[in-house]
């Protein structure tokens, strides 16, 4: 198509990684290099001979570089349909030479706004205009040109480019165009998110400091893996990485089969629960519900206690720890079938023990502070999207309100605190019975709260654990006194719940009749 034409590459990049070497390789293949601004200076300092954009357009850069490439001598070459004789004639008539490859990535807007103390004015100056215009124009015209926005693609271009036409394969050009539009889409999304929080008064622009729900919920995610199936074999499923929320090396899988959809959901549920504790803690999860949680100075003991709470449900479960897993804990885990083990670290001896269970998935999770991840979560409905903050609010004991006549003992306060830490991680209706070291019985996901109360008591009995003397936590208020009566009959001595029912007085009266210490937190933890 353009075999007799000279070959030209237009280069204007913010990320200059490898660009001098790439430009040199292009020059060796017969390309003239066109550039401007900082990229021009960078290439010149590297010993190359780039042509200034101003020499192509016949017009100097103006407005402190805000206008450089927005010119027909640039965009005519980028948008021309070279297969049309009329377009070629128009280019010739205006003295516009073709360009075969455009190498552009955009001003570092995301990096700029991530810096502390950046003003709105400084952020606005990092909104690229000419760059996205060139990217979109070239990507639109991928049948005639190549757009490169990622340094990782330079070598593939060099390997595949035709020396005569200056073009790689059409398939490669299409892939680069797809990547380019994602590049500009993600860039514009970041700008829009930032500007949503900008406030204008008469004199200046400022950015609201308080975290509010976005006016528009925007999300871009790239598929990183196709899963075998979803919750059930007839459902398609994939794993996607959200752009702008990357956590480098978030998960290291040491061994085991590929993670399934259900594994990943359970993994997050177990890890969030484990992260919620300061003491060394073990969590066993089945179908997103903790069936055992325990804390102990010795991690092996914490795990054995957590598994004991519901040994039947623990079979085939997902296990999470907030400490490095040692050899003794690994031996204990191997005593029963488990799907997945998660921890911030594993000793070499522990990993060696796990090798005996080749199908066991062993995951090391890395987070900067090991605490509950913040941010938003969403659920897709058939007709829309529900968006909310993650439930990270934790009301300390010092802020609870004692509403009963009886004061709790020190041991009961420790048990109440443990129960209240566990209950936000249990599906509603949620009831947790606990002592100071962990759960004793858990009732989850029932349609009535009293049923959850009874199930938790039954689970404790099956495990050979006693409810007598334990504390009880409820994720929401008790609508009737029946759950209090059932707990009292089992020997519960202290209860914590949000309060807020129209029958709170009836519930308080029941607690007083049974000699139970009752606290209200005024914070609900529904989990649907």
Q: Which domains does the chain have, with CATH numbers?
A: 7-196 (3.40.50.1380), 247-365 (3.40.140.20), 397-520 (3.40.140.20)
H helix or E strand, kind and range, residue 509: helix 504-514
Per DSSP, the three-state class of 62 is strand
Among 11, 103, 88, 105, residue whose Cα is nearest residue 56:
11
Instruction: Give the contacts of 484 (CB within 8 A, at least 6 positions apart).
Output: 478, 495, 507, 510, 511, 514, 516
- DSSP code of residue 231: S
| Cβ density class 138-177: b for 16+ within 10 Å, e for less | bbbbbebbbbbbebebbeebeeebeeeebbbeeebbeebb
C-alpha–C-alpha distance, residues 466 and 428, integer Å: 23
Q: Within 13 Å, how many C-alpha atoms sit on residue 110's CB side?
A: 15
Q: State the pTM of this model.
A: 0.79
Structure tokens belonging to residue 51: 């042509």
Determine whether 425 is an active site residue: no
Active-site hit among 52, 87, 140, 357? 140
3-state secondary structure of 519: strand
Given the residues 16, 71, 257, 287, the one annotated as active site: 287
CA–CA dist 498, 315 (Å, integer): 33
Catalytic (active site) residue 140: yes
**For residue 118, what are its two tokens?**
């950046």
- Cα of 223 vs its chain's centroid, Å: 13
Per-residue pLDDT of the chain (528 residues; tens, 9 = 90+): 444 468 999 999 988 889 999 999 999 898 999 988 888 899 989 889 888 888 887 777 777 767 777 788 888 889 888 888 999 888 889 888 899 999 998 888 888 888 888 888 888 888 888 888 889 999 999 999 999 999 999 999 999 999 889 999 999 999 999 999 999 998 898 888 888 887 777 677 777 766 667 888 888 888 888 988 888 889 999 988 887 665 556 788 899 988 889 999 999 999 999 999 999 999 999 999 999 999 999 999 999 999 999 999 999 999 999 999 999 999 999 999 999 999 999 999 999 999 999 899 999 987 666 567 777 888 888 888 888 888 989 999 999 999 999 999 999 999 999 999 999 999 999 999 999 999 999 999 999 999 999 999 999 999 999 999 999 999 999 999 999 999 999 999 999 999 999 999 999 999 999 999 999 999 999 998
CB atoms within 10 A of CB 263: 18
Q: Residue 284 and residue 288: Cα distance in Å, rounded?
A: 10
């Amino acid at each position: 198509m353009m075999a007799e034409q000279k070959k030209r590459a237009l280069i204007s990049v913010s990320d200059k990684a490898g660009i001098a070497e790439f430009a040199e390789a292009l020059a060796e293949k017969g390309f003239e290099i066109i550039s401007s601004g900082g990229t021009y200076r960078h290439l010149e300092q590297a010993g190359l001979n780039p042509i200034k954009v101003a020499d192509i357009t016949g017009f100097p850069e103006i407005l402190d570089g805000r206008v450089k490439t927005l010119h027909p001598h640039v965009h005519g070459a980028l948008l021309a349909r070279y297969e049309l004789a009329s377009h070629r004639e128009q280019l010739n008539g205006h003295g516009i030479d073709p360009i075969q490859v455009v190498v552009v990535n955009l001003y570092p807007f995301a990096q700029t706004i991530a810096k502390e103390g950046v003003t709105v004015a400084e952020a606005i100056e990092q909104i690229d205009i000419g760059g996205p215009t060139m990217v979109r124009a070239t990507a639109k015209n991928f049948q005639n040109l190549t757009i490169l926005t990622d340094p990782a693609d330079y070598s593939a271009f060099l390997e595949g480019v035709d020396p005569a036409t200056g073009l790689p394969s059409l398939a490669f050009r299409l892939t680069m165009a797809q990547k380019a539009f994602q590049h500009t889409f993600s860039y514009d999304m970041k700008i829009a998110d930032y500007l949503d929080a900008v406030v204008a008064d008469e004199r200046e622009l400022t950015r609201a400091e308080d975290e509010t729900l976005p006016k528009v919920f925007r999300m871009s995610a790239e598929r990183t893996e196709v899963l075998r199936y979803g919750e059930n074999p007839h459902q398609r499923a994939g794993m996607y990485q959200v752009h702008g929320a990357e956590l480098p090396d978030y998960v290291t899988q040491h061994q085991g089969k590929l993670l399934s959809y259900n594994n990943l959901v359970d993994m997050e549920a177990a890890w969030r629960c484990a992260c919620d504790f300061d003491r060394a803690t073990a969590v066993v999860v089945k179908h997103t519900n903790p069936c055992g949680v325990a804390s102990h100075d010795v991690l092996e003991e914490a795990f054995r206690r957590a598994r004991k709470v519901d040994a039947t449900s623990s079979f085939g479960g997902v296990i999470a720890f907030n400490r490095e897993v040692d050899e003794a804990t690994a031996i204990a885990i191997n005593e029963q079938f488990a799907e997945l083990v998660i921890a911030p670290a594993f000793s070499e001896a522990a990993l060696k023990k796990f090798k005996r269970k080749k199908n066991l998935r062993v995951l090391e999770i890395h987070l900067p502070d090991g605490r509950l991840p913040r941010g938003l979560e969403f659920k897709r409905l058939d007709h829309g999207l529900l968006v909310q903050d993650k439930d990270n609010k934790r009301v300390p004991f010092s802020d609870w309100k004692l509403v009963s006549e009886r004061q709790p003992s020190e041991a009961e306060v420790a048990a109440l605190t443990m129960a209240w830490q566990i209950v936000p991680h249990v599906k509603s209706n949620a009831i947790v019975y606990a002592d100071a070291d962990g759960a004793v019985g858990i009732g989850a996901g029932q349609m009535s709260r009293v049923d959850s109360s009874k199930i938790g008591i039954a689970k404790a009995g099956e495990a050979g654990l006693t409810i007598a003397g334990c504390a009880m936590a409820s994720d929401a208020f008790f609508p009737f006194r029946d759950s209090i009566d059932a707990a009292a009959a089992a020997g519960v001595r202290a209860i914590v719940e949000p309060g807020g029912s129209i029958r709170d007085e009836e519930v308080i009266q029941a607690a007083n009749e049974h000699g139970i210490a009752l606290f209200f937190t005024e914070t609900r933890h529904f989990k649907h």
